[in-house]
Structure 1
Amino acid sequence: MKRWGITIPLTGVPLAAHEEMVRELPDLGYTDAWSAETAGHDAFTPLVLASQWAPQLRLGTAIVPVYTRGPGLLAMSAATVAELAPGRFVLGIGASSPVIVKNWNAAEFEAPFARSRDTLRFLRSALAGEKVTEQYESFSVSKFRLERPADPPPSIMLAALRPGMLRLAAKEADGAITNWLAASDVPKVRAEIGPDVELAARIFVCPTEDKNAARGLGRMLISSYLTVPVYAAFHEWLGRGEALAPMHEAWAAGDRQKANQVIPDEVVDDLIVHGSLESCREQVQSYVDNGLTTPIIALLPTGEDPFAHVRGLAPRS
């Protein structure tokens, strides 16, 4: 099935004001609505509302950090949404970043591969309704059993950027979730997981023909995200290490303004979809053409009506 997703809630729009738009999404051709979790809304609450507003949509978290909730609470939250959207909920989990985990949530960011793998294995058992007593490498659980396991249990996808985590996602999860990549990067990521594994990616879309405005916003986002070590390593692997080296040098020196200025236009244009609505749709489709299963549009603000942009970015048959 061809998938076309949108990130909810939209930037700057109150959560309760999304109802009319979310109800409209299936008729527009959207198949999926995915949430995110940084320092705004939590990942689960928007999907609880969407499950009632648009029962046709598949719903997913992209992603919930594996450190910021205990394993049992994470299982309970996932089972709750899965009960509200039976067969239509995907739990996307991942390591997140030291800023979110340690600086904002007072948890230790240690052994991200092991913690992601162990949480995935725990969730497989817990969401199936099993009683779990297990000493994992990164944590232990004793006699946990969900009181209300969902039937069917939700799919579990894993956030993955580089080969090790991508291969883990392909082997033990129901798919991989990635972001901050160009359409031309998709084949390299796809090669690590094989042809049959679902690959989802959040794609940042700024529907404006004002290139300077789009690139200005894109540069701020790129310098904020790609200076995080896991993303820096990801783009080194993808082949952008040399192009992004001046940004990293300026950022390390504390010169945020210069870090933005030295990001090449071609890097911004690769990673931020911008242009007319028609052009943006075509660029998102190019990700699919290159092997992406599920594009998840993340609409960037332009000062124009975001609901009109959501309608304009809907897939064309």
Structure 2
Amino acid sequence: MKLGYSLGYWQSGPPPGALEALLEAERLGFDSAWTAEAYGSDAFTPLAWWGSRTSRIRLGTGIAQLSARTPAATAMAALSLDHLSGGRFTLGLGASGPQVVEGWYGSPYPKPLARTREYVQIVRDILAREAPVTAPGPHYPLPYDGPDAAGGGKPLRSTVHPLRADLPIYLAAEGPKNVALAAEIADGWLPFLFSPRADADYRRALDEGFSKRAASRSPRQAFEVALQVPVVPHDSVEEAADQVRPMLALYIGGMGSRQANFHREVIERLGYDRECGLITEHYLAGRKREAIAAVPTRLVEELALIGPPEKIRDELQRWEETVVTTLIVQGDAATLRVIAGILS
């Protein structure tokens, strides 16, 4: 299993020591490095800025949000960064959720599967550069011909020749239909909140997508499943779990509403309905400390590798037996050295 390094998205400002950690990840032989975005820092700028100091490690967005940019703007950023990195860029995309899309970008959140399919096709058409790009819509019509159109739009072709017309595109997906879509139209899948116990369900979803995959797409054997998983070496399992609980409480309780939270649904499918309900109630009522405390250790151990190094090594086997091909980890340079020593 390959190792990746996640710079994530920023909290109140740029993460201290990020460049040092990225350079250490490359020195340690990590295969890839990834940035993210939510509603603060963007995914492309840090990747270009810090990635310019590297020479070998692959650079990916994990993830860039669909609603943050039009398909054409995303394709322009991707082909630019692929040129600047010498062909090391991977475009990771995700639909995000209604809270961010409607609350931050001011865009509607209809039919995420259909929008994703349409978005990816336009990006691929731009990168292929075979003809001026047109798209029928309904979400991203090119040229735009709505009732308020000025009437001067015409199909265009990128002035820049992409370095790789087949630049890899990965999709973030959590639900079974989204996972199947990734296997059908993308070159890789970026899971989140993945438990090895659910591996059989994910395999079925991937198989469904692969059965519809076009022959022109990259072969199934090359399909990458790159999972960001917390790895927290610590003598105390409980203290290690305490480092993961805030993130889980945020995504279960705070990344959505009582009615719609795709992240919480993943955990509920694992059988934690009662716990998810309690975490959500605390979080939405502003009781974040109680929400964090309500995250059970056994859930953390399902979704993360935590505790003494010997325990992590023993548990690693169950991850190696899943569909996951790359483990993406976080931490400063010193932590990455420890993690690499345990996982390698």
TM-score band, normalised by shorter chain: 0.7 to 0.9
Give me the whole-angstrom Cα distance separating, in 2, the residues matched to 1:4 and 1:285: 15
The yes-or-no answer on 1:7 pairing with 2:6 is yes
Q: Once the two structures are superposed, what CA deviation does each residue of 1:115-152 show, in whole Å capped at 9, x if it has no partner? A: 21111111111111242111223221222432224221
Q: Does structure 1 conserve the Cα–Cα contact (< 8 Å) formed by 2:9 and 2:37?
A: no
Matches within 5 A, 1:105-254: 105-129=105-129, 130-142=131-143, 143-153=155-165, 154-194=167-207, 196=221, 197-227=223-253, 228=256, 229-251=261-283
TM-score (norm 1): 0.86
Higher strand proportion, which one?
Answer: 1
* SS of equivalent residue, structure 1 residue 136: coil
Task: Work out the CA distance in 2 between the residues paired with 1:283 and 1:40.
Answer: 35
Higher mean displacement: 93-102 or 73-82: 93-102
Amino acid across the alignment from 1:47: L
Q: What is the Cα deviation at residue 85 of structure 1?
A: 2.5
Q: Which amino acid aligns with 1:177?
A: L
SS in 2 for 1:191: helix
Aligned length: 310
Distance in 2 separating the partners of 1:117 and 1:66: 11
Closer, same or farther: CA 97–206 of 1 in aligned 2, 3 Å: farther
Contact 1:209-1:276 within 8 A present in 2 as well: yes
Q: Sort the Cα spacing of 1:140 and 1:10 in 2 relative to 1 into closer, same or farther, 3 A.
A: closer
Partner amino acid, structure 2, of 1:172: I
Write the deviation string for residues 49-78 of structure 1: whole angstroms up to 9, x where unpaired.
344322211111111110111222111111
CA distance in structure 1 between the aligned counterparts of 2:169 and 2:124, rounded to whole angstroms: 8
Aligned partners of 2:123 and 2:244: how far apart in 1?
Answer: 36
Structure 2 residue aligned with 1:80: 80
Q: What is the DSSP-based 3-state SS (H/G/I as helix, E as strand, rest coil) of the residue aligned with 1:53?
A: coil
Identical columns (%): 29
Separation (CA, whole Å) in 2 of partners of 1:127 and 1:285: 39
Task: Tell me if structure 1 keeps the 8 A contact 2:230–2:330.
Answer: yes
Residue pairs, 1:37-48, within 5 angstroms: 37-48=37-48
Separation (CA, whole Å) in 1 of partners of 2:242 and 2:159: 49
Q: Which amino acid aligns with 1:6?
A: Y
CA contact (8 A) 2:63 2:94 kept: yes
SS state at 2:142 partner? strand
Matching residue of 1:59: 59
**Within 2, Cα distance between the matches of 1:298 and 1:281?**
17
Structure exhibiting the larger radius of gyration computed from Cα positions: 2
Q: Tell me, yes or no, if the aligned pair for 2:133 and 2:142 is still in contact at 8 Å.
A: yes
Ranges in structure 2 where 5+ consecutive residues have no aligned partner: 144-154, 208-219
Q: Quick one: distance in 2 between partners of 1:253 and 1:19?
A: 37
Computed over aligned residues only, the root mean square deviation of the Cα atoms, in angstroms, reads 2.7
Give the secondary structure class of the aligned counterpart of 2:170: strand
Question: 2:120 is matched by which residue type in structure 1?
Answer: L
Name the structure 1 match of 2:303: 271
Matches of 1:19 and 1:255, distance apart in 2: 35
- Return the letter of the residue paired with 1:23: L
Aligned to 1:302: none
Partners of 2:31 and 2:25 in 1: how far apart? Answer: 8
Once the two structures are superposed, residues 99-122 of structure 1 have per-residue CA deviations (whole angstroms, 9 ceiling, x without a partner) of 322223333323222221111111
Q: What is the identity, as a one-letter code, of the residue corresponding to 2:142?
A: V
Residue identity in the other structure for 1:219: R
Aligned-partner residue type, residue 5 of structure 2: I
What's the TM-score, normalizing by structure 2? Answer: 0.79
Secondary structure of 2:26 counterpart:
helix
Q: 1:252 to 1:9 in 2, by over 3 A?
A: closer
Deviations 1:75-100 (A, max 9, x none): 11111111123432110101112232
CA–CA separation in structure 2 for the residues paired with 1:311 and 1:159? 27
- 2 CA distance for matches of 1:11 and 1:224? 15
SS of residue paired to 1:90? strand
State the secondary structure of the residue aligned to 2:134: strand
Do the aligned partners of residues 97 and 25 (structure 1) sit closer, same or farther apart at CA in structure 2, a change above 3 Å counting? Answer: same
* Structure 1 residue ranges without an equivalent (≥5): 300-305
Q: What residue number does 1:49 align with?
A: 49
Change (3 A) 1:220 1:9: closer
